[in-house]
């Protein structure tokens, strides 16, 4: 049993069991809004931080020690799978991720490697380093990017606003898109199973940009592979959270892929989404992260408003609708965590 934890609120909520209050963690909690993050970031590149297990563990532990959240999330990135498959990945300050050799042709797609677990061992080492520090206090969440979102970075060669090349590929060369998506899915299955073996207590699949897809394309190019991944994990008592910006639209399809939790963006009424999903599927979310820029009084009001909506509901994990922005005041984030932790159902 991996989940022998002093604080197992997140695990209980993920499996829709009763909790005395909602568990709280925040996407991008191990990041740039913390001055302590910059103390480390100023000494190393982002990829050096990810690939040096003790540094990745130091950063993972920052929000645990400074915010008192109910779950840690491994410090890494969704694009490390794309790099292991052959993408020449760099993260430039102010530019974001870049693949210098975008995947555009059949030859590019065929060159992508799938037998890459040896290249990702540093992630397993980082998980073990974090677990040595956590000592079972709270769960550690492992994660991966979902195939469509990783494909979008590989094809575009970096971030995109409109996903023009990605959509052109899906529309004009769907077979080629499926070849790439299947390769990413195979790598993701091995990668998440490796994270389970290394000791994560929960998993999150990030399909951050699937909101760019139409309803039909979501089913064909995202849902197919996410379902496949979830069904191929050896996860026993490890819950899996499915995140997508756009989950206010796609939630029923996301639930159909078999996750324990659907993570919802802030466009949706979380209670409506919960009521629309099958019994036993939990929800995570969904405070608008921009609320954390506001006055503390407003932060508290908005959190309590969300809790009022979710009152009496098992299977609710408090989170933001998307990640914390780098310039949100640390003090506000800490305050939000306190508000959640004081609350009782």
Q: Per CB under 6 A, which region of 26-34, 195-203, 256-264, 295-303 contacts ligand 1CP?
A: 26-34
Of residues 69-108, those binding ligand 1CP (CB under 6 A): 73, 75-79, 91, 93, 96-97
Query: CB of 75: closest distance to ligand 1CP in angstroms?
Result: 5
Burial 215-244 (b: 16+ CB within 10 A, else e): eebbebbbbbbbbbbbeebebeebbbbbbb
The verdict on 29 binding ligand 1CP (CB under 6 A) reads: yes
| String of contacts with ligand 1CP for each residue 136-155, x by CB under 6 A | -------x------------
Q: Tell me the two tokens of residue 92.
A: 């430039």
**Distance, first Cα to last Cα, the chain:** 28
Of residues 42-71, those binding ligand 1CP (CB under 6 A): 46
CA distance 108 to 157: 12
Query: CB of 336: closest distance to ligand 1CP in angstroms?
Result: 15
CA distance 228 to 131: 28
Among 27, 146, 200, 333, binds ligand 1CP (CB under 6 A): 27
CB nearer ligand 1CP, residue 146 or residue 313: 146
Burial 88-119 (b: 16+ CB within 10 A, else e): ebbbeeeeebbbeebbbeeebbeebeeebeeb
CB nearer ligand 1CP, residue 11 or residue 212: 212
Query: CB of 60: closest distance to ligand 1CP in angstroms?
Result: 8
Q: Tell me the two tokens of residue 306.
A: 């969300």
CB nearer ligand 1CP, residue 274 or residue 322: 322
State CA 16 to chain mean position distance: 19
Query: CB of 273: closest distance to ligand 1CP in angstroms?
Result: 18
CB-CB contact of 171 with 216 (8 Å): no
Listed in sequence order, the DSSP H helices in the chain are: 9-14, 35-41, 46-51, 53-67, 80-84, 106-111, 121-134, 147-156, 164-172, 174-198, 215-217, 224-231, 247-256, 270-276, 296-310, 330-342
CB nearer ligand 1CP, residue 31 or residue 315: 31
CA distance 215 to 3: 36
Query: CB of 131: closest distance to ligand 1CP in angstroms?
Result: 16
CB nearer ligand 1CP, residue 22 or residue 145: 145
Among 10, 24, 41, 188, binds ligand 1CP (CB under 6 A): 41
Among 10, 14, 30, 140, binds ligand 1CP (CB under 6 A): 30
Of residues 219-278, those binding ligand 1CP (CB under 6 A): none
Opening angle at CA 222, ends 10 and 47, nearest 5: 65
Question: How many residues form the binding site for ligand 1CP (CB under 6 A)?
Answer: 23
All residues at 6 or more sequence positions from 342 whose CB lies less than 8 Å from its CB, including other chains = none
Among 21, 32, 165, 232, binds ligand 1CP (CB under 6 A): 32
CB nearer ligand 1CP, residue 16 or residue 324: 324
How big is the chain by its Cα radius of gyration, in Å? 19
Opening angle at CA 203, ends 57 and 262, nearest 5: 135
CB nearer ligand 1CP, residue 28 or residue 271: 28
Of residues 194-213, those binding ligand 1CP (CB under 6 A): 206, 208
CB nearer ligand 1CP, residue 9 or residue 74: 74
Using CB under 6 A, list all residues that contact ligand 1CP.
27-32, 41, 46, 73, 75-79, 91, 93, 96-97, 143, 159, 206, 208, 323
């Amino acid at each position: 049993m991996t989940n022998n934890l002093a604080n197992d609120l997140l695990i209980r909520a993920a499996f829709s069991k009763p909790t005395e209050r909602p568990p709280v963690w925040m996407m991008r909690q191990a990041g740039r809004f913390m001055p302590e993050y910059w103390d480390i970031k100023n000494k190393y590149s982002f990829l050096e931080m990810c690939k040096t297990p003790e540094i990745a563990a130091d950063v993972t532990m920052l929000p645990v020690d400074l915010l008192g959240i109910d779950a840690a999330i491994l410090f890494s990135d969704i694009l490390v799978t794309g790099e292991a498959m052959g993408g020449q990945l760099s993260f430039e300050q102010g530019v974001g991720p870049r693949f210098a050799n975008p995947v555009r042709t059949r030859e590019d797609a065929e060159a992508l490697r799938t037998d890459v677990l040896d290249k990702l061992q540093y992630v397993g080492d980082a998980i073990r380093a974090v677990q040595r520090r956590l000592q079972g206090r709270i769960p550690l969440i492992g994660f991966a990017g979902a195939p469509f979102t990783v494909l979008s970075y590989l094809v575009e060669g970096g971030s995109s606003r409109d996903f023009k090349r990605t959509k052109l590929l899906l529309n004009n060369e769907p077979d080629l898109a499926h070849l790439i998506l299947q390769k990413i899915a195979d790598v993701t299955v091995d990668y998440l199973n490796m994270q389970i073996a290394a000791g994560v207590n929960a998993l999150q699949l990030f399909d951050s940009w699937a909101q760019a897809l139409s309803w039909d394309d979501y089913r064909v190019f995202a849902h197919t592979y996410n379902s496949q991944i979830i069904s191929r994990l050896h996860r026993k008592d490890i819950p899996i959270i499915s995140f997508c910006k756009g989950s206010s639209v796609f939630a029923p399809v996301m639930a159909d892929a078999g996750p324990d939790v659907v993570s919802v963006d802030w466009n949706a009424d979380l209670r409506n989404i919960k009521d629309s999903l099958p019994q036993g599927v939990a929800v995570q979310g969904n405070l608008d992260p921009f609320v954390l820029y506001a006055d503390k009084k407003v932060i508290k009001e908005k959190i309590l408003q969300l809790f009022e909506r979710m009152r009496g509901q098992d299977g609710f994990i408090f989170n933001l609708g998307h990640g914390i922005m780098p310039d949100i005041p640390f003090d506000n984030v800490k305050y939000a965590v306190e508000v959640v932790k004081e609350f009782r159902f």
